Amino acid sequence: MDKPSEALESVLERVIDLWPRSSSEAEVDIRRRLGDIAAADLDSASLKVAAKGRLRIVSGPILLKHAAKVLLSAGGDCLPCLATFAKDEHGSWRLSAMEEQCAVCFGSGINDGQLCDMCFATGWGVHID
């Protein structure tokens, strides 16, 4: 049996290969391409996080029992993205969220001494069209 990190790395590599580079791509096409590496509950907001180039791994993965988080970046002036993976009922890793760093508080959750209301103080997951 593979070590958990190896199984996760293979799913992560496929996400990097298949992730959209344009925000104009139809959600249905992205879901079809991702296939079984996307969790059933991967939300529409995650699919709108288009990378402006090939994503690369910045950190991680942080491995929890049933979830893993990996920081990704397309480099340049792009904000980093936090990819969250969850294990499905068979124990396979699936992408469950892709969140861009908040452009207001840059991930701190605090803006101007107050809780950031753009990202609900989470620091992640803001999608400005």
- Give the integer Cα–Cα distance in Å for 67 and 129: 29
Q: Which is nearer to Zn ion, 92 or 122 (CB)?
A: 122
Find out whether 59 and 45 touch, Cβ atoms under 8 Å. no
Taking the complex as a whole, the smallest distance from the CB of residue 102 to Zn ion amounts, in Å, to 3
Per-residue contact flags (x/-) with Zn ion for residues 48 to 87, judged by CB under 5 A: ----------------------------------------
Choosing from 82, 102, 124, 125, the residue that interacts with Zn ion (CB under 5 A) is: 102
Stretch that binds Zn ion, among 20-28, 42-50, 51-59, 114-122 (CB under 5 A): 114-122
Burial classification of residue 98, based on how many CB atoms lie within 10 Å of its CB (0-12 exposed, 13-18 middle, 19 or more buried): buried
Find out whether 104 and 119 touch, Cβ atoms under 8 Å. yes
Taking the complex as a whole, the smallest distance from the CB of residue 126 to Zn ion amounts, in Å, to 6
Interaction of residue 105 with Zn ion, rule CB under 5 A: yes
Taking the complex as a whole, the smallest distance from the CB of residue 21 to Zn ion amounts, in Å, to 25
Q: Which is nearer to Zn ion, 8 or 100 (CB)?
A: 100
Ranges of beta strands (E only) in the chain are 56-63, 67-73, 81-87, 93-100, 110-111, 114-115
- Give the integer Cα–Cα distance in Å for 99 and 68: 14
Chain residues binding Zn ion by CB under 5 A are 102, 104-105, 116, 118-119
